[in-house]
Structure 1
């Protein structure tokens, strides 16, 4: 009763009272008392706050109570920073102080640094130093910043352990080997035994067998760890309940982003590490989206297009080395369910849906930071998939059983032998020099394509 303002979080609209918002939140008080554009408006659109987080925030502003979990803590921190809610920020910090463990302490260190949570940063660093042996065995090792690793090396007395820590840190992400010489300045090799060097030089990690993971739009997922005796095991349910999410392979596992929960687009991102079975919380996307596309390349997660009440053409990239999101130039047109591929470090966006299925192809020049249009696909491919192989892009599957190859060098397409099944919404990947297409809607078949013989 007597509501006089509506807060808009994505598709969620919540009727509120200005006097309560202004009394509980400096951000709104300044908005309503100054000449900000929203002062005379009947609604305030908060683009950077998801619907689920917005509902929690309004409840907090009215009641002072809020349910903080490991899944929403990061979103609440971002919102409290934006809305100048110092008390809420402290509540989230206190929650994270009591929920730090070996699986998440590196993420918490990065989070504390991002939001200037000094007490949490000190506590998480102490936890890292005290439990470093367990932490380095987790998926989060690739998120550890070099400065934090150096602190560990300087605090730890065992030089043999420090040598192994450096090895694990370098191996966790490609491109770190050039840091070896500088990092070894923090290790005293003279304190390492001869037996240690014999063991280190004579032992190598066993070759890792490729694992396959598949999932459906309901959020159910399965993992196959032995391709010689293929058996699919259910993956522990992700820490979310969403549909229409996007997933892509990443080193050691895969990343899930966005989607819809109760028909509300989400910003959350999680990574799964197959070896340990752990889910890890990543920074949420700047833009809530569903029906978008994603791909991992060169330490970056790219998310493209999608839908959030309106079609999107925005492109965002998460740098996995510092966990910072960046905005790339938007696509020339809005699109959902597009196919992504990387060739020569350039991102290709192919096809997709925008009111109707399209055959457009756009390439993002990573050097010039610009988009350019390429030759369209020779036929529409509805609900197919794309992979890159030998500097070409292959578009396969879909309702019309497509199989076509794009050569970026001469901007030409070649139509190829079609698969036996349509693999409607079925994913695809490159495995052992062939292209494999999986399942699809009401279909569990798996087909393998040989680019050498143009045969399935």
Structure 2
């Protein structure tokens, strides 16, 4: 029994398994079909299927074009210059409001089998019919104008704009003014806008063209009034002179109206008083000479306000195309030799570009910008085993990217400070040939290319923070000859040539730059992370967001109401002094600092300045 039972137990599971396997093999397809059916029953049943044949329209056009060529079902002949072009009315009606009005209204053409289209050349008409049936047409310089005229007449706007796009690709400074006139005749707004944009942005080249001299007075006035005109004000003046001299007898009376469009505030005083003021055309106009004399009185008396008649002319802002570019020059490079490098930062590409090198290596020179010219003043020239304190002044203009020498200073000095105000450059303090800290001050008048001594500072200091605002020069802190911090503000009144001193416990900066923005003077670091702003109107200090590191011997400048700080020497948490290549920006609106990347190399005791340039012109190679 036991064996029989065991045998039964052994056999039964085997039989079950074999049966199950057999069932699975035989009915697998049935089971799969059942599962698929159940899945299909779970999904929603589509009530319709939207089919779109994307090739039908092009195929249909192709077939209609074949019918046209074989003259099958054509019911109208378009005629021009003796040529007959068979067409289908329904195709023409569907393609243009012009033909729809012609064939679907009570015009006599709706019943005619032959329609004459006057004013459209046969070749142009044939091309347009081909375009209607194929959607394709070749445009050339020989056919573009009659095509545009025909497309305008027959109401084919896309073909009209295709012709406009073709002409826009042919635009150049030599033909953009002609294109503007053409666009006005054709009422083509897209071509006119593009051509005018080129005329404004390539004004230098356009002004030299023959078409420019043929402009009417209102047209020229419109260009000179444009804030987007890519030109310096000296060139604007020279351009209007060239326009007048083209037809002097009929145009010389316009000199006053044109002269008022020149933004005199942004012209170098030397150019204004030596060239413009002495031009015969300007001298022939009483109104022009009165404007120049008003500017002369304003600049000669520093504290004077502009006359009422000069006000609108003097407060006109710079043209939008004139932008400030950051230039970094000189200093100590990578902790080694004094650098001759000059770098320009391109905000668009966020890259640094090398300018022409300084002629000599200058240790602790001063740097200032006036009339879009960079000045490097004095410094210690280091030669082979010898060093000389210099009076030399070097200048750099982005127009030429060449260094030149200007009138030298009255006294040799280095480690001094320079600041510009109106057409003046002030040089303050420093160290002379005797290695003593000096308090002398001298002023450069850019109108007369002349240096003159001014009242010396009350307390000679080294490395103060210096900035100018509202007819005053402010000198914050610094250190004396014994390297002790000086806690005071020394203020120089420009119009009165007078100094005063203010004790200020808040001031304790050394080797820190100062920058003026909107009646506030920002003092950045100086052996500290601290930045404070002195409100010149309220006569009080305002705390600002600290820098990320303790910094000294760095440089700072303001561009577009933002503060840019470059390089310097940083003090780590372990009081280790390291050279820096940092490049940071401070926004006074948000009181925040952001990184702008790094300088190409580590740098300190350098200059950082804004230079104006015309935005459409490439930077110097």
Is the TM-score greater than 0.5? yes
* 1:17-416 aligned within 5 A: 171-173=266-268, 183=279, 184-186=281-283, 207-215=321-329, 216-217=331-332, 218-262=338-382, 263-308=387-432, 309-354=435-480, 355-356=482-483, 357-376=485-504, 378-416=506-544
RMSD of aligned residue pairs (Cα, Å): 3.7
Counterpart Cα distance in 2 of 1:398 and 1:411: 21
Counterpart Cα distance in 2 of 1:289 and 1:382: 19
Q: CA deviation at 1:298?
A: 0.6
Q: CA deviation at 1:222?
A: 3.1
Contact 2:530 2:547 in 1 (8 A): yes
Q: CA deviation at 1:246?
A: 0.8
Counterpart Cα distance in 1 of 2:416 and 2:521: 19
What secondary structure is seen at the aligned counterpart in 1 of 2:282?
helix
What secondary structure is seen at the aligned counterpart in 2 of 1:185?
helix
Q: CA deviation at 1:437?
A: 1.2
Gaps of at least 5 residues in structure 1 are 1-132, 134-138, 143-148, 189-203
Q: CA deviation at 1:158?
A: 7.5
- In the other structure, the counterpart of 1:446 is 583
Q: CA deviation at 1:375?
A: 4.4
Between 1:218-227 and 1:399-408, the stretch displaced more is 218-227
Q: CA deviation at 1:177?
A: 7.5
Contact 2:269 2:447 in 1 (8 A): no
TM-score (norm 1): 0.57
Gaps of at least 5 residues in structure 2 are 1-207, 209-231, 286-317, 333-337, 570-578, 594-621
Q: 1:375 to 1:177 in 2, by over 3 A?
A: farther
- In the other structure, the counterpart of 2:89 is none
Q: 1:383 to 1:186 in 2, by over 3 A?
A: same
Q: 1:422 to 1:254 in 2, by over 3 A?
A: farther
Q: 1:222 to 1:240 in 2, by over 3 A?
A: closer
Q: CA deviation at 1:180?
A: 6.7
Q: 1:250 to 1:174 in 2, by over 3 A?
A: same
Q: CA deviation at 1:227?
A: 0.6
Q: CA deviation at 1:343?
A: 1.2
Between Structure 1 and Structure 2, the one with more helix by share is 2
Q: 1:159 to 1:422 in 2, by over 3 A?
A: farther
Q: 1:409 to 1:260 in 2, by over 3 A?
A: same
Between 1:323-332 and 1:354-363, the stretch displaced more is 354-363
Q: 1:346 to 1:379 in 2, by over 3 A?
A: closer
TM-score (norm 2): 0.42
Alignment length (residue pairs)? 292
